[in-house]
Amino acid sequence: MINRKLVIEYIDYFSVDEMEPADRELVAAAIDAQKGSYCPYSHFRVGAALRLEDGTIVKGSNQENNAYPAGLCAERTAMFAAGANYPDKAFDTLAIVGSDENGICETPATPCGECRQVMAEYQAKGGRPLKIILVGRNKIQKFSKVDDLLPFIFDSITAGQVF
Ligand code: THU
């Protein structure tokens, strides 16, 4: 037997000024996307902005429903909109931000498991790493691939592939 260790690397930024301009623009787009949030039940506004390989930015926000499970997270709203409208464009980077009644959450909002699984699928479909940016009030985290948020991904398309 072998005892193994999994190491996940990511960047913590303490100001958007430390980020490259394209990522700064994406963070601003995710913050702006929160305006479209429909969250009368949770009052938690989530915005997502997805940059495609050609630079196009697709926004999404959480859309809730009185029948709770019918609602959808911001990340999937953005990813499905991009998948539907730009089926041939690989996903490059997804930025996510959440706000409660006090504004942008101090701790960066982290995507739910179902959204991570959907990210993994589109990463495989695009054939390149999908980067993820999690925006908090005083800290922004950047991951260079979905695998870092979802180790041991179930993926029958690219079984065993490592970016
Ligand atoms: N939500 C998202 O939009 N993204 C996440 O990553 C976590 C949760 C939404 C779902 C629901 O509308 C609200 O936040 C509270 O869970």
Count Cβ atoms below 10 Å from residue 106 Cβ, excluding itself: 11
Distance of alpha carbon 50 from alpha carbon 82, whole angstroms: 8
Alpha carbon of 5 to ligand 1 centroid (Å): 31
**Superfamily for domain range 11-158:** Cytidine Deaminase, domain 2 (3.40.140.10)
Instruction: Locate the ligand 1 atom nearest the alpha carbon of residue 109 and give its number.
Output: 6
Q: Are 132 and 93 in contact (CB under 8 A)?
A: yes
- What is the pLDDT, as a whole number, of residue 34? 98
Rounded alpha-carbon distances, angstroms, from residue 76 to 10, 19, 40, 79: 22, 25, 19, 5
Determine the residue of 34, 39, 46 to mutate for testing ligand 1's pocket, defined as the one with the most ligand atoms within 8 A of the Cβ atom: 46
Mean pLDDT, range 118-142, rounded to an integer: 97
Spell out the domain ranges in the chain. Answer: 11-158
| Token couple for 71 | 């609602």
Confidence bin at 76 (pLDDT 50/70/90): very high
CB of 47 closer than 6 angstroms to any ligand 1 atom: no
The residues assigned a catalytic role are 75
| Token couple for 45 | 């506004």
Pick from 23-37, 69-83, 90-104, 149-163: least confident: 149-163
Three-class secondary structure of residue 33 per DSSP: helix
Which residue's alpha carbon is nearest to atom 6 within ligand 1? 111
pTM for the whole structure: 0.94
